[in-house]
Amino acid sequence: MLNPKWLTTFETLVKTQSFTKTAECLFMTQPGVSQHIKKLEDALGETLIYREGKQFELSQAGIMLTEYIASQKQLKETFLAQLKEDSPNQGPIRIACSGAMAMKLYPLLLAHQQQHPELSVHLEAAPASRIHALLMDNSIDIGISTQPIAHPSIEETLVGKESLCLVVPSQSKVDAQDYDALC
List pLDDT tens digits, range 101-127: 999 999 999 999 999 999 999 999 999
Predicted model pTM: 0.50
Other Cβ atoms less than 10 A from the Cβ of 40: the count is 21
Alpha helix positions (H), the chain: 4-16, 19-25, 30-44, 60-84, 99-115, 128-136, 179-182
Which residue, among 9, 67, 69, has the nearest Cα to 35 in the 3D structure?
9
The 3-state DSSP class for residue 49 equals strand
As annotated, the residues of the chain forming the CATH 3.40.190.10 domain(s) are 91-143
The residues that bridge with 91 in the sheet, in sequence order, are 119
Rounded CA separation 62/82 (Å): 30
Q: What value does the mean pLDDT of the chain take?
A: 90
* Per-residue pLDDT tens digits of the chain, which is 183 residues long: 889 999 999 999 999 999 999 999 999 999 999 999 999 999 999 999 999 888 899 999 999 999 999 999 999 999 988 877 777 888 899 999 999 899 999 999 999 999 999 999 999 999 999 999 999 999 999 999 888 888 888 888 888 887 777 788 888 888 878 888 877
Distance of alpha carbon 61 from alpha carbon 67, whole angstroms: 10
Where exactly does CATH 1.10.10.10 map onto the chain? 4-84
User: Which of the four CATH numbers 3.30.70.2740, 3.90.550.10, 3.40.190.10, 3.30.70.20 does domain 91-143 have?
Assistant: 3.40.190.10
Q: Which CATH number fits domain 4-84: 3.30.450.70, 3.30.70.1230, 1.10.10.10, 1.10.287.90?
A: 1.10.10.10
The values of phi and psi at residue 44, to 5°, are: -85, -20
